[in-house]
Amino acid sequence: MKSYIKNLCLSLVAVVILGGCSEDLLDVKNLSVYNPEDVWNDPTLANAYLVDLYASTFSGWPLNDGNNADESVGILGEGQVQTTNNAFKLWPYSQIRKINVLLSEIDNGQLGNEEKMQIKGQAYFMRAYHYFRTVVYHGGVPIIEEPQLLTDDLLVPRNTTKECFDFILEDLDAAIAGLPDRFTGNDLGRIDKGAALAFKGRVLLYMASPQFNPSNPYDNAYWQEAYQANLEARQFLEAQGYGLMENYNDIWMQSGNREVILANIYENPVKVNGRREDCVRPLSQSRNCTGGDQPIWDFVSKFPMKDGYMPGESPNYEYNLQRFWENRDPRFYDIVVYNGAIYELGGNPDRRQYTDTQVADINDGFRPGSDGRSGFYTRKGIQVELPVAQVDLNDVDWVEIRFAEVLFNLAEAANEVGRPDEAFEILKLIRQRAKIEAGTDGNYGLATGMNRDQLRDALYQEKFIEFAFEGKRFWDLRRARRLHTQINGMKKYGLVAVLKEGLDPVSGADFLPEDFDYEVTELFSTGQTEMYTPETYYFFPIHQDEIEKNPNLEQNMGWDNGTFDPTLD
């Protein structure tokens, strides 16, 4: 009975995002018509209100985010981003209002001081999180610190981008001051001091970035602030026992492990399918959905060999397109499912995944002109033991911040402030954990003596692999102002597999990857065939509806004769 009550309570108030629940929560009143005298005098009601904020702040795994970059299938085409549609728009003021209600009223209640501080600390973080994401989309937006009436419009002008960053950092400092060092156990998933420090490092990395400083992208003073913040975050987190997991795949398969700094917790059967496994699997092993997060050849080809050198450059391992899967970076096999590879879906340890249309299930194959297929699938975050009937019960946690990101953020800032040796050592740590061979020089295939630009490129390349399908690539290219130079005009390619002549496709034989011939082919031959990512995409427009509701809002420069400069220049 208790487990049923717990599951019912989790469903009612979304407490699974925090991991724990009390039976008292069954007695909560309707929080949409709450009485402040009740909520801020009762720890159960106060935490229920807080949980509702979590549910409207954090989401699950990003799906198909890589379609907007050079990671997965899909074309970001001309005309997809407009001032009058919802593409790449963010305006979370209803969520911010709820946070402002908490921050303005909680001190009037009778909760204990420590509990108030912890709840306020989490709320400050979430307000900073919403503002930060909105600034990344649009640049400076109106700063609202007090709860407005639900009937009010935001009849206020935009604050500058610098004012918004300062406000975000103030909120994060307030969060850091009020939060405990680390939440564990039933509180796993709550925002703690380590999460706030790590997120502050992310914020300052963006503040220093070329996206916000186009006229002085790498020598502005914000880089030093980013370096100090990420160094502090790393040192604090390591003191709390955080670090890189020994095995890359365990980051997702072991909930609450040492690499996880902040996660959205999933628990079957109460809160499931944050990974959208039903849409990532091949259709033969799924239901009514497929094609999500399919790697393209451009991404697959970027994996180094297992000695860390790029394909065709390794002194130890030959590379041949017809045996492209051999001797690659071990992360390759944790991320990429290729034709003939073992893919243990349904708990079948011997199951092979085929993409040759002669051999594969009719729904899994890839051939030229079959838009939406690439010849690859991904296994990242997939619970291969789930049968088809339970494919939507995936409960792999979404890791919003992990320790490897803190290391990359620190390395990137270190390189820009004249500390290349620190950045290089972090790259070595990442490759060591990946189990790339160290080599006789102990450099894991990394070139020595790289200059600032080369080391910067190496960091972006390594992060591309390390964070595949975690929703980083598009935003990193945008932050670095590389969209218009690396992605604009790009065509996307897949890999066609064809069973070798003389082999019988209907024999039922267990064909190996080397039993096929391979050809790189363009994915899209009709309609929009090239990526469209012009320089105006470094700051997306505010929706025209918001401009019309609030005459004090300026549109961004580059959109509908806008006059607002969203940069820090």
User: Does 357 reside within a domain?
Assistant: yes
pLDDT on residue 370: 64
Give residue-wise pLDDT tens across range 411-458.
999 999 999 999 999 999 999 999 999 999 999 999 999 999 999 999
Same-domain pairing of 315 and 267 = no
* Residue 370 or residue 108, greater confidence: 108
DSSP reduced 3-state for 563: coil
Which long-range CB contacts under 8 A does 149-157 form with residues at least 24 apart?
150/97, 153/549, 153/550, 154/93, 154/546, 154/549, 154/550, 154/553, 155/550, 155/551, 155/552, 156/550, 156/552, 157/552, 157/553, 157/554
Paired with 271 in beta bridges are 267
DSSP reduced 3-state for 430: helix
Same-domain pairing of 386 and 283 = yes
Q: Are 198 and 151 in contact (CB under 8 A)?
A: no
Same-domain pairing of 233 and 365 = no
User: Does 360 reside within a domain?
Assistant: yes
pLDDT on residue 148: 73
pLDDT on residue 152: 54
| CATH number for 442 | 1.25.40.390
Same-domain pairing of 229 and 374 = no
Paired with 521 in beta bridges are 494
Closest Cα to residue 457, out of 443, 437, 477? 477
285-290 mean pLDDT? 91
Same-domain pairing of 408 and 361 = no
User: Does 107 reside within a domain?
Assistant: no
Same-domain pairing of 423 and 496 = no
| Residue 239 predicted with pLDDT over 90 | yes
| Residue 248 predicted with pLDDT over 90 | yes
Same-domain pairing of 265 and 364 = no
Q: Packing angle between helix 113-138 and helix 193-208, nearest 10 degrees?
A: 20
Closest Cα to residue 559, out of 534, 543, 541, 537? 541
Query: Any idea what DSSP says for residue 271?
Result: B
Same-domain pairing of 323 and 389 = yes
Same-domain pairing of 282 and 358 = yes
79-83, 367-371, 543-547: least confidently modelled range: 367-371
Paired with 499 in beta bridges are 516
Same-domain pairing of 507 and 376 = yes
Closest Cα to residue 52, out of 21, 25, 15? 15
* Residue 1 or residue 147, greater confidence: 147
User: How far apart are alpha carbons 17 and 25 in whole angstroms?
Assistant: 15
User: Does 128 reside within a domain?
Assistant: no
Domain endpoint, select from 457, 477, 504: 457
Same-domain pairing of 293 and 346 = yes
Q: Is 435 exposed, middle or buried (0-12, 13-18, 19+ CB in 10 A)?
A: middle
- Phi first, then psi: give them for residue 90, nearest 5 degrees: -145, 125
Give residue-wise pLDDT tens across range 139-182.
999 999 988 765 455 689 999 999 999 999 999 999 999 999 99
Give residue-wise pLDDT tens across range 330-373.
999 999 999 999 999 999 999 999 999 999 988 899 987 666 78
The total domain count for the chain is 2
Give residue-wise pLDDT tens across range 372-415.
789 999 999 999 999 999 999 999 999 999 999 999 999 999 99
DSSP reduced 3-state for 474: helix
Same-domain pairing of 389 and 320 = yes
pLDDT on residue 372: 73
Encoded tokens for 285:
């092993």
DSSP reduced 3-state for 44: helix
Degrees to nearest 5, angle at CA 341 with 336 and 346: 90
| Residue 3 predicted with pLDDT over 70 | no
Range of the domain at 300: 277-396+492-522
User: Does 4 reside within a domain?
Assistant: no
User: How far apart are alpha carbons 1 and 445 in whole angstroms?
Assistant: 57
| Residue 8 predicted with pLDDT over 80 | no
User: Does 91 reside within a domain?
Assistant: no
User: Does 288 reside within a domain?
Assistant: yes
Encoded tokens for 191:
């925002």
User: How far apart are alpha carbons 178 and 176 in whole angstroms?
Assistant: 6
Encoded tokens for 56:
């409207």
User: How far apart are alpha carbons 107 and 15 in whole angstroms?
Assistant: 23
- One-letter identity of residue 505: P
User: Does 262 reside within a domain?
Assistant: yes
